[in-house]
Chains A and B, each alone.
Chain A
Amino acid sequence: MSDLDLLYTEVEDDLRASLRDLLAARCDSSAVTAMYDGDRSVVDPLWKELAANLGLAGLLVPEDQGGQGASAREAAVVLEELGRTVAPVPFLTSAVIATTALLGSDAPLLAELAAGERTAALALPWSTAPDGPLTAVAVEGGRLTGTVTSVAGAVEADVLLVLADGFLYAVAAADAKVTPVVSLDMSRQLADVRVDGAVGTLVVEDGEPAVRRALDAGAAMLASEQLGVARWCLETTVEYLKIRRQFGRVVGGFQALKHRLADLYTGVESSAAAARYAAATLAENDPDATIAAAVAQAYASDLAVLAAEEAVQLHGGIGMTWEHPAHLYLKRAKSDQIALGTAGAHRARLAGLVDLPA
């Protein structure tokens, strides 16, 4: 089980490089900060560029269904870069989670998502763990009625995937009431979704397993986003402490800080191993994938929060400002920690998976 390649292939490195250039040009941190004041103008053009022009929306979709036929390994690299820039695009919610829920179905929607023509969101609270309770709506004669709160990716979606009676339905966003909520992380703004007799198209008969598979994949992939967040925090903090001087010395020379950063580095490298393993097992359909996803979430989500908290603290006053981007990472990291199950929820899940019962 440890023969899987936990490093990056050349193809993955190339993907990262092109994505990094594009994000540097198109996803300025001040544009992300502006989202907190309601200016979301960065989102649409950026997502269009990534989804359709770069073809990222179809990464996980097989070629004969209109996708790129790549794997979770490449998707993970994309998420590292998106995390690194707290990019406000619905890649994780649409191209990973909603897409995975549809993988296996013959709904034409899958090809439309893969082409970046449409964007979907799985209508569940963003805090839902892969083994947690699933919010469903009522269905009667193909008409759906109910509310799902705190859905990620719904603001950007034109189609929503809704669970009802064990089936998964697609509902046009235009036929639902999507109410954006003021969120801790406005770079992934949540929305409450209300359907009131909306017509749904049945897309997956065996809805619940498909949704759990999608959440599992989401949890595995989220670890790479968290890794990207943590890497940015570590690197930015190290660079700052190499130039910031107090007491006639570079602050990064004080041993108390060196040791904290060494520990953070150790944690980030560990996160990388956990995230890569989760991605590699998912890509290979390895039987260890579920454990790997739970391990990755149990580790990487807390580590990203630690990295962001250290970044704020070690920047001093500037770290507390609206102007410095550190807060974007703190808000993303803290929201990501709760997303798809907290670290504690994943540990509790592991207790069953690895036979360490309470």
Chain B
Amino acid sequence: MTLAERVAAFLEAHDPASTDRLEFLRARYDAGLAWVHYPEGHGGLGLEQALQAEVDRLFAEAGAPTNQPEKNGIGLGMAAPTILAFGTDEQKKRFLRPLWTGEEIWCQLFSEPGAGSDLANVSTRAVLDGDEWVVNGQKVWTSGAHNARFAILVARTDPDQPKHFGLTYFLADMTDPGVDVRPLRQITGEAEFNEVFLSDVRVPDAQRLGAVGEGWKVANATLNNERVSIGKSAERETGMIGVVARTWREHPERRTPELHDRLLRLWVDAEVARLTGTRLRQKLAQGQPGPEGSAMKLGFARIAQQLSGLELELLGEDGLRYSDWTLVRPDHVDFTGRDAGYRYLRAKGNSIEGGTSEILRNIVAERVLGLPGEPRVDKDVPWKEIPR
């Protein structure tokens, strides 16, 4: 049976018009049509990732409900591939299905006030108590924590080890009474991210991902996926360039030669970035995401920022206005949504979230080009002895 026939047979058995939305999504997962490159039994068929687009297209054509991937970007883009790579069979069984269907939204409890670029410096402590870990600490910049049911969490389990070795990776329940999520307002006015205070949060040892002390390795797998998923787009003029090109076409009266020159340069950059993304995905079709994704993300951030800045100038007087400064807590982020002012401000985060552009340049220089690493005064010292 071809993949298209499989989809047709599934749609035959589950009429999108009359089947309950969640029931439909769960059945789609069980049929291996959720993400075909995942293994059988975990929502996939062990096929090439490239085949997914065709499956999604067929479902969309049939008017099938989607799993609203925009609301669970961290779950789908980061938690799932990490669970797939490092999880036990039980963990995959427990977490992947409701993650994919969107029943359980995920957030990322990595960054802390003292551990941003230097993620390995996290000081949130996890201490084993019987078959549970007791977690205490503070996380920050946690996008979507206010909607999340679970979190991927990096915590320190051994402060006597050098910083990279004493970390462990967990899957934490955000409904634990010890989890306190407080909105953190950002430059756009809204609060997409949060501060998350963890007080005696209990995480069963069965929800540890990877071995004790291997958290750094597992976290890096997550981060590589983050950088690849951030740099995504397939059709020409998707993303910020599409928005700005539309504005350009709609406003002949606002065009100037100087803006035209900048727009064309950025159009070319965006088109080349799109092709670079396609090429990278072709390279990664089978393998794991590597440091090359960092180079993509660098370009993506720069282009989005320059384009959104250009759009405000193009809008002239209208560019002086802003839609709404009210503190809202959105359930998803759309870099190209709302108004031009919002897009300009939100794009500033693109070179900070998921690794700053400076850190990404270090990564490219060191891991792709093989240049020497930065001096690391704290690398071989037990974590607890590092001055902070």
Q: Do A269 and B276 touch across chains, with their CB atoms under 8 A apart? A: yes
For window 109-126 of chain A, which residues contact chain B by CB distance below 8 Å? none
A1 within 8 A of B: yes
Beyond A1-B236, A258-B362, A277-B275, whether A347 also contacts B268 by CB under 8 A is yes
Instruction: Say whether B371 contacts A266, CB under 8 Å.
Output: no
Which of A238, A250, A261, A269 counts the most B-chain CB atoms under 10 A from its CB? A269
Known: A298-B268, A356-B245. A259 touches B365 (CB 8 A): yes
Interface residues of A in 261-299 (CB under 8 A from B): 261-263, 265-266, 269-274, 276-277, 295, 298-299
Q: Contact between A253 and B372 (Cβ–Cβ < 8 Å)?
A: yes
Q: How far is the CA of A241 from the CA of B365 in the complex (A)?
A: 12
Is A5 among interface residues, defined by CB-CB distance under 8 A?
A: yes
B292 surroundings in chain A (CB, below 8 A): 269
Q: Which residue of A lies closest to B277 (CB)?
A: A273
Residue of A nearest to B269 (CB): A299
Also in contact, A252 and B267, with CB within 8 A (given A273-B278, A276-B279): no
Closest A-chain residue to B235, C-beta based?
A2
Chief secondary structure at chain B's binding surface: helix
The complex places the Cα of A6 from the Cα of B280 at a distance, in Å, of 9
CB distance from A86 to the nearest CB of B (A): 23
Contact among B248, B265, B365 with A261 in the assembled complex (CB-CB below 8 Å): B365
The count of A-to-B residue pairs whose CB atoms sit within 8 angstroms is 121
CB distance from A234 to the nearest CB of B (A): 8
17 A-B pairs besides A252-B372, A258-B369 with CB distance below 8 A are: A6-B279, A7-B279, A238-B370, A250-B372, A258-B365, A262-B361, A265-B364, A269-B276, A269-B292, A271-B272, A272-B279, A274-B271, A274-B272, A276-B275, A347-B265, A357-B252, A357-B255
- Point out the residues of chain B lying under 8 angstroms from A348, CB to CB: 264
On chain B, the residues within 8 Å of A182 by CB distance are none
Interfacial residues of chain B within 150-188, with CB under 8 A of chain A in the complex: none
A115 to B151 CA separation, bound complex (whole angstroms): 66
Interface residues of A in 309-358 (CB under 8 A from B): 347-348, 350-351, 354-358
The size of the chain A interface, using a CB distance under 8 A, is 41
In the complex, which residues of chain B have a beta carbon less than 8 angstroms from the beta carbon of A1?
236
For A242, A277, A350, which residue has the most chain B Cβ atoms within 10 angstroms? A277
By a beta-carbon cutoff of 8 Å, the part of chain A in contact with chain B is 1-2, 5-7, 238, 241-242, 249-250, 252-253, 255, 257-259, 261-263, 265-266, 269-274, 276-277, 295, 298-299, 347-348, 350-351, 354-358
Q: Return the CB mask of B238-281 against A: 1 if under 8 Å, else 0.
A: 00000001001100100101001101110111011111101100
Q: B374 at interface (Cβ–Cβ under 8 A)? A: yes
Q: Is the CB of B364 within 8 A of A262?
A: yes
Q: Is the CB of B282 within 8 A of A6?
A: yes
CA distance A265 to B291 in the complex (A): 12
Given A238-B370, A253-B372: A358 touches B255 (CB 8 Å cut-off): yes
Binding site for A on B (CB under 8 A): 234-236, 245, 248-249, 252, 255, 257, 260-261, 263-265, 267-269, 271-276, 278-279, 282-283, 292, 295, 298-299, 358, 360-366, 368-374
Q: What residues on B are CB-neighbors of A269 within 8 Å?
A: 276, 279, 292, 295
Residue of B nearest to A354 (CB): B267
* A249 nearest CB neighbor, chain B only: B372
Quote the shortest CB–CB distance from A193 to chain B (angstroms): 33
| Given A238-B370, A350-B268, A355-B249, residue A270 in contact with residue B283 (CB < 8 A) | no
Contact (A241, B371) CB under 8 Å given A258-B365, A262-B364: yes
Q: Are B272 and A2 neighbours in the complex by a CB distance under 8 Å?
A: no
A273 to B269, CA, bound (A): 11
Residues in B neighbouring A295, C-beta threshold 8 A: 268, 271-272
A252 and B257 CA atoms in complex are apart in Å by 40
Rounded to whole angstroms, the CA-CA distance of A257 and B268 in the bound complex is: 26
Give, as a whole number of angstroms, the nearest-CB distance from B383 to chain A.
24
Cβ contacts under 8 Å, A258 to chain B? 361-362, 365-366, 369, 371
Offer 16 A-B interface pairs, CB within 8 angstroms, sorted by A. A7-B279, A252-B372, A253-B371, A253-B373, A257-B371, A258-B369, A262-B360, A262-B368, A266-B364, A269-B295, A270-B273, A270-B275, A270-B276, A299-B269, A350-B264, A350-B268
Instruction: Judge whether B369 and A261 touch: CB under 8 Å.
Output: yes
Complex CA gap A7/B282 in Å reads 7
* With A1-B236, A6-B279, A266-B299 as contacts: A273 and B272 at CB distance below 8 Å: yes
Contacts of A257 in B (CB 8 A): 371
Q: Is the CB of B272 within 8 A of A266?
A: no
Q: How far is the CB of A341 from chain B (nearest CB, A)?
A: 14
**A347→B360 CA distance, assembly (Å):** 29
Assembly CA distance A299 to B276 (angstroms): 12
The answer to whether A356 touches B236 (Cβ under 8 A) is no
Q: CA separation between A276 and B368, bound complex, in Å? A: 21
Asked if A259 and B234 make an inter-chain contact with CB atoms under 8 angstroms apart, the answer reads no
Instruction: Provide the residues of chain B in CB contact with A255, threshold 8 Å.
Output: 362, 374
| A356–B264 touching, CB < 8 Å | yes
> Given contacts A266-B364, A299-B268, A355-B249, are A2 and B276 in contact (CB under 8 A)?
no
A253 to B371, CA, bound (A): 6
Which A residues touch B267, using CB under 8 A? 350, 354, 356
Contact B234 A2 (CB under 8 A): yes
Nearest chain B CB to A343 CB, angstrom units = 8
User: Is B260 within 8 A of A262, CB to CB?
Assistant: no
